[in-house]
Structure 1
Amino acid sequence: MKALTFKRYGKSPDIGFSNIDRPTLQPDELLVQVYAAGLNPIDNIVPAGTFKPVMSFKLPAVLGSDLAGVVVEVGSRVTRFKPGDEVFASIFDMGRGSLAEFAAVPESLAALKPANLDFVQAASIPMVSLTSWQALKERMNLRRGQKVFIPAGSGGIGTFAIQLAHQMGAKVGTTVSTGSIELVRGLGADEIVDYKKQAFEKVLHDYDGVLGSVQGDTIEKSLGILKPGSRIVSLTGPLDAAFAEARKLNFFLKFVFGLMSRKMMKLAKKKGVNYSFLFVRPDGQQLGEIGELLKAERIRPVIDKVFPFDQAKEALDYLALGRAKGKVVVRIK
């Protein structure tokens, strides 16, 4: 089968198309013919080797993690799905990829595709929705009437997280450029800061949570807008010792990650704020609950651009520019 792979880690990962064997199914897995694959920033970060100490791939490795498609075969222990079912899933952190004609998906990570979404729309959802769900519901325990700051509101994470927080009854603050103000207002943002004209830390006040989705000093600056007892959940780092502990990493990596997050932890403690790093986990049950929100049209996919499969590498390059309003998706079939 045709797949987009990388052959080595580093500045020259040799990304290109390869003909590889179809995945061999385990008893608890589905073989899915991939119709579309949603892209995420991590898809460009993995080949660079940034997460090599904590994520294992057998090289050459297939890129991508989000997919939507049709089940063509099921393992002997699979009970929830059958051939012909239309599904969507994230296979992130499983040592396999979605930018291929077929993918093996553990049954526990898959959910039925909402009938009102096409494959491209469904493929745009898994990672951003699971990340938002786990950050806002599990880590922050965000409640009705609270205020959450979600920077870069027009991006892939931002467009979903704003909608989810709005559905949870929270007030949402965000940052965008002038051209995206109406987009995020339509998604449910309440306080919108044009970052080209104003500094968010001088405008926003008394927030209960921050979703750290932007590289740079945004998280440190956001400390100034938070109430004591608030929570920062970072998707971009610094990695912390709790992350190393959860992944059962060795003592040296626990020590290193503890050092990396030491400054942030100290600043957060001084403000009476809790800081944690979130590494999203695939979860079919959560994706099924998210699917119900999508079916009810309480949340909608936001897609910037769709690329054909033979331009998948160009799609990754476009995503890396950081200008997409919503998600970038590759149509495979």
Structure 2
Amino acid sequence: MKGLFCQAAKSDAEHTFVIQETTLPDVLGKHQVRVQVKACGLSPLDFKLIQEVGIQKDFLPVGREVAGVVLEVGPKVTSFQPEDEVVGVLPLDSLCSGLCEVIDVDEYYLVQKPEKLSSVCVAGALRDGVCAYTALHTHARMAAGHTLLVMDGASPFGLMCIQLACYHGVKVLTTSPSPQKQTFLEQLRPSIGIQDPLVARVIPVHNGSPDLLSAVLEETGGLGVDIVVDSEVCLHGEEDEEEKLLPHKHDIISVLGVGGHWVTSHKNLQLDPPDCRLLYLKSASVSFLNPEVWTASSAQQGRYLHILKDIVEKMAAGVLR
């Protein structure tokens, strides 16, 4: 059986992807499930994170978001039976590539897949759904009546945040780096329920666009937003071409209201004393979004499985697309 693996480059050279033969053991572990993979999502490998958590491998398996059918279960598995349709995210130290035809995985990383939800759809959206739940529920403690600013709402992660927030009665503002994405965001409508726009205001951030701070304060009556979620930020004033469309860290802190919460995906965020002072004056806070924390630690495995289950149920109901 063949699977796709990646060998990390030792210098600035590109990483090498290879197809390798893999063999599954004859006997399953006590809590393991053997799954025939129907679809697999491809997400980037974070080589630095994998190294930092102590995983030392020459070849790392590629493809971790999987959906498939249970073929066989271990002697102590209680959650699944053969022929059950399941979906989940393989752990960082998984021996199997999600692109193998058949894989072995612990039952604690899987949940039941609703029958009417396609395997391709759920495998492609699961990671962004987990990120959105982690950002809005776990970190920001989102509640009805809050105001949320999503940076680059047209990205897959941004779209999940927008839909999840609107479902819970949150007013959503978002930014757009291009006129095409702005039109797309302004035309977003829920697939069920009242067909009001999902986004209260789309703030363009491309050339010649209005200032982000003034637009947010205008929309919130000068109070600022309760939650800001970004995918990346610009740390310095002299940015390169790729960073010109990214929000500056000071702008994000400025648009926060009193008691606001900033959830960032920037791994190496550095806050200067003036930034910290502004956060202190607003009694605001910052959280770091690491989507791997759920599978890297078993401390909150029950909550993680609840999140996975809720994501697939909302996808099956049409709340998340």
- TM interval, shorter chain, is 0.7 to 0.9
Alpha carbons 1:152, 1:214 under 8 Å: kept: no
Query: Which secondary structure state, in structure 2, belongs to the residue aligned with residue 125 of structure 1?
Result: helix
- Aligned residue type for 1:236: H
Query: Which secondary structure state, in structure 1, belongs to the residue aligned with residue 52 of structure 2?
Result: coil
Q: How many residues are paired up? A: 276
Higher RCO, 1 vs 2 (CA within 8 Å, ≥6 residues apart): 1
Matching residue of 2:135: 135
> Within 5 Å, which residues of 2 pair with 1:189-204?
189-197=199-207, 198=209, 199-204=211-216
State yes or no: 1:178 paired with 2:179. Answer: yes
Alpha carbons 1:89, 1:284 under 8 Å: kept: no
- Aligned residue type for 1:224: S
Question: Separation in 1 of the partners of 2:54 and 2:150?
Answer: 27
Matching residue of 1:321: none
Alpha carbons 1:110, 1:284 under 8 Å: kept: yes
Alpha carbons 2:152, 2:230 under 8 Å: kept: no
- 5+ long unaligned stretches in structure 2: 190-197, 218-223, 236-246, 296-303
Q: Deviations over 1:3-58 (max 9, x none)?
A: 11112344433122222223774321222222211233xx24x24x3552136253
Matching residue of 1:299: 320
Question: Separation in 1 of the partners of 2:74 and 2:277?
Answer: 49
Question: Separation in 1 of the partners of 2:61 and 2:165?
Answer: 33
- Aligned residue type for 1:195: V
Percent identity of paired positions between Structure 1 and Structure 2? 25
Aligned counterpart for 1:289 among listed residues 294, 303, 310: 310
When the two structures are superposed, what TM-score results if normalisation uses the length of structure 2? 0.77
Alpha carbons 1:230, 1:274 under 8 Å: kept: yes
Matching residue of 1:327: none
- Change in 2 beyond 3 A, CA 1:117/1:275: same
Matching residue of 1:27: 30
State yes or no: 1:230 paired with 2:260. Answer: yes
Question: Separation in 2 of the partners of 1:160 and 1:86?
Answer: 23
Matching residue of 2:20: 18
When the two structures are superposed, what TM-score results if normalisation uses the length of structure 1? 0.75
Question: Separation in 1 of the partners of 2:159 and 2:56?
Answer: 30
- Change in 2 beyond 3 A, CA 1:147/1:116: same
- Aligned residue type for 2:92: D
State yes or no: 1:278 paired with 2:282. Answer: no
Query: Which secondary structure state, in structure 2, belongs to the residue aligned with residue 175 of structure 1?
Result: strand
> Within 5 Å, which residues of 2 pair with 1:248-263?
none
- Change in 2 beyond 3 A, CA 1:299/1:201: same
- Aligned residue type for 2:184: L
Root-mean-square deviation over aligned CA pairs? 2.4
- Change in 2 beyond 3 A, CA 1:117/1:54: same
Question: Separation in 1 of the partners of 2:66 and 2:130?
Answer: 13
Query: Which secondary structure state, in structure 2, belongs to the residue aligned with residue 124 of structure 1?
Result: helix
> Within 5 Å, which residues of 2 pair with 1:1-333?
1-10=1-10, 11=12, 12-22=14-24, 25-40=28-43, 43-44=44-45, 46-47=46-47, 49=48, 51-54=50-53, 56-96=55-95, 97-176=97-176, 177-185=178-186, 186=188, 188-197=198-207, 198=209, 199-205=211-217, 206-217=224-235, 218=247, 220=249, 221-238=251-268, 268-280=279-291, 281-282=294-295, 283-300=304-321
- Change in 2 beyond 3 A, CA 1:89/1:149: same
Alpha carbons 1:114, 1:122 under 8 Å: kept: no
Query: Which secondary structure state, in structure 1, belongs to the residue aligned with residue 16 of structure 2?
Result: coil
More displaced 10-residue stretch of structure 1: 197-206 or 112-121 = 197-206
- Higher-Rg member (1/2): 2
- Aligned residue type for 2:259: G
